[in-house]
A and B are shown apart, each in its own frame.
Chain A
């Protein structure tokens, strides 16, 4: 029996020695991506008796697409201002004093249920030493118009799933594509949402600064963004996934499609922008050839993501 006891002890030691742990799936898809759920105030501006709070996800403006929620409070009686006319204009000024903007909603919508003004803005650049952003906001309440200007900071978007790109199409127009969702993709079918905007070339001379007509953008309707997701990492041979769906416009003005990510890692969303007549405005087909060992070729129009 001694032998058996010894033998059992030996087994006990053997089976409890090191083994590898299973991967925690939730942790795995969160290593690169932090998902934000909360809208927090980015800036508060005082103007006369009003306090204006501009909120965005995680209390930060990021390069790319930002949904903005504005609340105006009359501090005299501590009530919120409903149904005011609000305009919102973000402007970027560089060291030479040139100003530009990004796609944005100029006139905000009032949502009575949520009691805030809803809009969005796409910042094509970050704030840095050579350029700064400011917001020109105006609102009219009780027949009095208030104009305020506030410098804001636009930070780098570390979540590559909310990347953006801008380009000039074959029609000579300047377009912007900004990813809106998913913030945190998973290895699955993901609903891919993007905004497609176009810069409206001004038709008249600039008036008094800031003249909104010089910085006008429109949501593009009736186009198609064709989608071909790939893994460009050389070892992945430009691997693609099945059952993806091109992005098409939705009633909310955004473009919706389906992207399947077969594993975590670096992915390239290869895009082709087509107008309502099916004419290509930007982008090239990517060969379906599997090319292990070679960095994957990309469409001339693409957005890289990582999760």
Chain B
């Protein structure tokens, strides 16, 4: 079954590849075809100040809106605005992809690689409603896409590097071909790492990983103003250790495919219309045979399959521009657990941890900007979605929720508005939002999902109410020639905040577990996020930047919410001398004062990490080459952060090297 699903789109692509090779004659071209980006919220190159060859996770970490739950060295779970990943929509080019692991070992960001991405768009709160209902916002991973070119050209890049601490060796290559009618983008990446060592130079067992990622995109210009494109990403992670969990990953595979039709309009209200159909299939197989200390051997495979459609239109009339998007997708998630008795000849014990859950969503989103004057801008938008769930083996849900319906339909509205004012050196922003989200598959239908953080088995509740978010946000900035300072705040008041609460019913199923928690709605919870960013050019070639973030989350009884980042800081210096550049940064968290013992947290002490790196650009023949050497955690500090699952220690001193060729 799973195999056939994988084969079909590949053959489809294969056919298109062959037909796409037909050469066509030169004609007028519209180079800008692939560069229509009317609304881009935050856009960055896929590298950080410190490191040019980063993983997707390391890159995401450079945003002050994102923090991570880390279960090891691989596949970190991004938290946007200090909210867990089910509160955000995480998409790849607007496509919904859902992880197949009940234990969140495979966030969507783990199925891409930095060399097939061009940018990551992060939108906070209801401004992120474009791709579907959300509370925290949206993270859209933008794939690389080379524009059509009048002259035929091949371009490529190759990066390789070695990180000493965990003997990570990586090779990332990408190649593109562009002509007037046809574009091909391909990338291939392979990373292999062994166990890392912590700040006491002790090896952290089960922290190795191997990842292969390949992508291909083929675009064909069907007319001066239109093009079709087929794309695929294949990702395979094998033998990945999760030191914070009682099991590892044997294999996870993702095939993410799409076909897009894009039409531009030279005149009139419509500027661009972009329609995409997509399919993705994910399989995820956990493995605990590497953990002989486990009392119970378990198989825990999971599968997630999604079909979707998205259609996006850009409209513009004078100072008014608008973006409308239709999102529709259908996801089927199923996960199994099979426990083996100590006498393996005895009957194994089977249950579904996701009892075959279908989620169908259809929604229309609209965002508008009205440029009132040169100094002020009003943006407003809304979305309305319908979310439908169906549980195939609803009898599993009846065990804890007798008689709960097999199907559930929810209406998910969203509204937001913001006003932006620029006054010479100052800029101000104020906005607000309102939106609903539906419970995730685990929150609604999960069945004895073991959470090794608080050591409870979690049970979903299909009857949970929509989580309703009311948010306000504001920012103020000051910029002069050499100096800029920017402050951001947002505040969320979330009705029916979904979180696990101890159930007086039932008893644990997983032997490590100490009890059963059910997903429940709190009356409300509140979340406050603050960040301050500054930069200063001390000299023409010496720059400073710094960030301070603070967050606070409370439930309706004034207790702390879990996974809220304590006061954290980052400060960096960047020095450029001819082709040599030197970077140094310090970052850290203060002591976690507002932790939540109720949700399994303990107090995490403060830490400070010092990083340095140097890179040098030169040319080998015509190839632009950059070489970089650096060290993270230079002082080999032993630390773990507030969001390190089970307080696993982070990596100690890590010397990294990287080499990049561009041609």
Contact = CB atoms under 8 A, between A and B. Distances in A.
Interface of A: 1, 3-5, 7-8, 10-12, 14-16, 19-23, 25, 28, 31-32, 186-189, 231, 233-243, 260, 262-266, 288, 290, 292-293, 306
B247 to A, nearest CB: 15
A23 B347 contact: no
Nearest to A267: B349
A30 to B, nearest CB: 12
B346 interface: yes
Nearest to B459: A242
Contacts of A28: 350
A246 to B, nearest CB: 16
A11 B233 CA distance: 10
Nearest to B341: A233
B140 interface: no
The interface residues of chain B, by DSSP majority, are classed as mixed
Contact of B14 (A12, A14, A241): A12
B581 to A, nearest CB: 33
Interface string B385-426: 000000001011011101000000000000000000000000
Interface stretch (B73-81, B322-330, B505-513, B619-627): B505-513
A14 B396 contact: no
B511 A292 contact: yes
A235 B13 contact: no
B295 interface: yes
Contacts of B513: 290
Nearest to A292: B511
B336 A23 contact: yes
Given A262-B448, A263-B351, A186 B395 contact: yes
B348 A239 contact: no
Contacts, number: 153
A265 B186 CA distance: 49
Which has the most chain B C-beta neighbours within 10 Å: A4, A11, A188, A306?
A11
B14 A242 contact: no
Given A1-B21, A231-B349, A290-B514, A237 B508 contact: yes
Contacts of B399: 187-189, 241-243, 260, 262
A23 B3 CA distance: 15
B459 to A, nearest CB: 9
Which has the most chain A C-beta neighbours within 10 Å: B2, B184, B349, B514?
B349
A188 B398 contact: yes
Interface in B250-282: 251, 253, 255
B285 to A, nearest CB: 6
A231 B216 CA distance: 50
A125 B236 CA distance: 58
Contacts of A10: 214
Contact of A22 (B336, B349, B393, B505): B336
Interface string B290-317: 0000011000010100000000000000
Contacts of B10: 8, 11-12, 15
Interface string B498-530: 000001011111011111000000000000000
A234 to B, nearest CB: 6
A16 B4 CA distance: 8
B50 interface: no
Contacts of B509: 236, 239, 262-263
B46 interface: no
Nearest to B255: A15
Contact of A8 (B216, B251, B352, B514): B216
Given A3-B175, A264-B349, 14 more contacts: A7-B214, A8-B17, A23-B336, A187-B395, A233-B341, A237-B507, A238-B507, A239-B508, A239-B509, A260-B399, A262-B351, A264-B351, A292-B295, A293-B511
A288 B350 contact: no
Which has the most chain B C-beta neighbours within 10 Å: A16, A28, A265?
A265
A25 B7 CA distance: 25
Interface in B369-393: 393
Contact of B2 (A21, A31, A265, A292): A21
Interface of B: 1-3, 6-7, 10, 13-14, 17, 21, 175, 184, 186, 188, 214, 216, 232, 234, 236, 251, 253, 255, 283, 285, 295-296, 301, 303, 334, 336-339, 341-342, 346-352, 393, 395-396, 398-400, 402, 448, 503, 505-509, 511-515
B283 A19 contact: yes
A236 B303 CA distance: 26
A266 B393 CA distance: 21
Nearest to B14: A8
B347 A266 contact: yes
Given A23-B336, A290-B514, A7 B216 contact: yes
A4 to B, nearest CB: 6
A239 B514 CA distance: 11
A231 B334 CA distance: 25
B207 to A, nearest CB: 25
Contacts of B295: 235, 292-293
A7 B188 CA distance: 9
A31 B303 CA distance: 23
A81 to B, nearest CB: 44
A263 B339 contact: yes
A288 B515 CA distance: 11
Contacts of B508: 237, 239, 290
Contact of A243 (B296, B350, B352, B402): B402
Which has the most chain A C-beta neighbours within 10 Å: B251, B295, B512?
B295
23 contacts: A3-B186, A4-B186, A8-B10, A12-B10, A19-B253, A22-B301, A23-B336, A28-B350, A31-B347, A187-B395, A188-B399, A189-B399, A234-B341, A236-B349, A236-B509, A236-B511, A242-B506, A263-B339, A264-B348, A264-B349, A266-B347, A290-B507, A293-B511
